[in-house]
Amino acid sequence: MKRIISLLFALLMAVSCAVMAGCAEKDPAPKPGDSAVVTSAETEAATETVTEAVPDLPEITFPNSDPFVVLLQGAMSEDFYTEDHDTGDTLHDAIRLRNSNVADKYQIEFDIQYDEWNVVNDRIKTSVNSGTHEYDLCFVHMVSGAALAQSNIVLPFEKLEYVDLSKPWWDKAIKNGFSIENNMMMVNGDISPMSFSITSCLYFNKKLFDDYDMDYPYQLVIDKKWTLDKLYEMTKDMTIPDGDGKIDALNGKNQFGLASWFLDIPYSFYYGAGGMMITKDPDSDMPLYTLPQNVERDTAIYNKIYDVIIKNQAYFETDPTTANFPNVAKVFAEGRALFYDAKLSSSEDLRDMDNEFGILPIPKFNEAQDDYYSFVNGASSMVCVPTTCSTPEMRERTSIIIEALAYESYKIVTPALIETYLKRKVTRDADSQEMIDYIIRNRVFDMAYINMYDGVGSYVKNLLEKKSTNVSSEINKYKTKVPKQIDKIIKAFEKSLKED
């Protein structure tokens, strides 16, 4: 199976001066699941060809054609700006230039529309069910949008002739979460720059590290020794009650070893430790529910997560109706937490933080784990094409424009994202900039999280909320249910593949 991130890591390797040192220890450890990991050989090959890759597109234009309509979820509207002028913001101007280059080359006009993430699906369904072709390209919420692939609402990308998913501007890791028998209903990559910004990471408060005479963890990361055990040691005894002996994050008095939210940290830590709920048969690309066979592995992973969050009394926010995510960021911004689990884009919420902070990848399970893995938040956009793109002429134009947008993003937008947005705008020091290379190196996509979020995809979250350590009992709940769900997904894909 092809492994993670194509263009992005290759480009990072090409432009970054950082040298990633260290090698894995040989001590025994539970074997991680089939997480998406790029191999050294694949990395070298991608690096060698990064400047040579070009799209195989025909010389053609579409004058006097209807506008090319793009529908986006509003939360990710920065994937496709509508302004026709530069603003001075490097990322914004790179996206505008991408759009302009494609529009000029193919003589088309873009019509960009936005809606709330939970409304976009309904708009696509309504259009398809009525038989009207309203949208040429859609950017949908990764988790809720996945349902479209099971309803014969979107096209397999294999039916879009000029979209070449082997090219480096398409993220190969997504295959683990979205393909059946090597057919993809949704894709992502450089065409959606905001997707990279909502990759999981860990922030740390430099002042608190200095106050406790602790070394910043940067070297641990470089030496491949940044693990959940190290995080446990650093956060032990760091949660301190107030003068009345109470621990209440909202009273403004407590200090915490870790600030976290229940819709982020269970996933970022589980996948960061090599967990995977649904894997793929490498020959058939069919999903396999392997979790019941990996109870020992998952128990070992979960116990370490439990120790960091529950045993060490982290601020683990579990009630979105009373506090929600902003208060988690607030606790860290006020200098009351040693660590903060979030995503890269969350650093924007810390711009006014008085204390200096650093950014780290999510810790590994142990030193034997080959790489640092990063969870991609479910709010990430995925690209899809409605089935109303039904004629050969429509599919030709749509596939050409999509591939051209992805390629232009690869050339223009991703370098701006990496060097300007991710490395300069959201970090405060050169060491954290280097850490971003580790964070986006190996992104993980799991079919269970994407397609079964309310079921098995949330089992770690469910256990942590109950402060339970009964992993085997939780996993056993899904032995019969999940294979049936997988079969349903497979049949839905096969139906879409048969219909033209």
Name, in order, each residue with C-beta under 8 angstroms of 280's C-beta and a sequence gap of 6 or more. Answer: 1, 34, 175, 176, 179, 286, 287, 288
* Helix (H) or strand (E) segment spanning residue 180: strand 179-180
Calpha distance 36→14 (Å, rounded): 21
Query: Residues 100-150: pLDDT tens digits?
Result: 999 999 999 999 999 998 899 999 999 999 999 999 999 999 998 888 888
Calpha distance 65→106 (Å, rounded): 10
Closest alpha carbon to 384 in 224, 94, 146: 146
Name, in order, each residue with C-beta under 8 angstroms of 329's C-beta and a sequence gap of 6 or more. Answer: 259, 340, 342, 346, 349, 350
Query: Residues 174-211: pLDDT tens digits?
Result: 888 889 888 899 999 999 998 889 999 999 999 999 99
Phi, psi of 184 (to 5 degrees): -115, 130
Q: What is the dihedral of CA 225, 229, 231, 235, to 10 degrees?
A: -150
Query: Residues 386-410: pLDDT tens digits?
Result: 999 999 999 999 999 999 999 999 9
Residues carrying CATH 3.40.190.10, the chain: 62-196+378-425, 200-375+452-495
pLDDT of residue 30: 41
Query: Residues 477-496: pLDDT tens digits?
Result: 888 889 999 998 898 888 77
Whether 137 and 401 have beta carbons less than 8 Å apart is answered as yes
pLDDT of residue 499: 64
The helices-and-strands tally (H runs, E runs) of the chain is: 20, 15
Strands 278-280 and 381-384: unpaired
62-196+378-425: CATH superfamily: Periplasmic binding protein-like II (3.40.190.10)
pLDDT of residue 12: 39
376 in helix, strand or coil? strand
Calpha distance 260→152 (Å, rounded): 37
Q: What is the dihedral of CA 341, 342, 346, 350, to 10 degrees?
A: -10
Phi, psi of 288 (to 5 degrees): -130, 130
Q: Which class is 200-375+452-495 in CATH?
A: alpha beta
The per-residue pLDDT of the chain, averaged, comes to: 86
460 class by beta-carbon count within 10 Å (0-12 exposed, 13-18 middle, 19+ buried): buried
In 328-356, which positions are buried (b, 16+ CB within 10 angstroms) versus exposed (e)? bbbbbbebbbbbbbbbbbbbebbeebebe
**364 pLDDT exceeds 90?**
yes
393 class by beta-carbon count within 10 Å (0-12 exposed, 13-18 middle, 19+ buried): exposed
Closest alpha carbon to 218 in 366, 37, 22: 22
Neighbour order of strands in the sheet with 256-261? 315-317, 256-261, 337-343, 200-205, 357-360
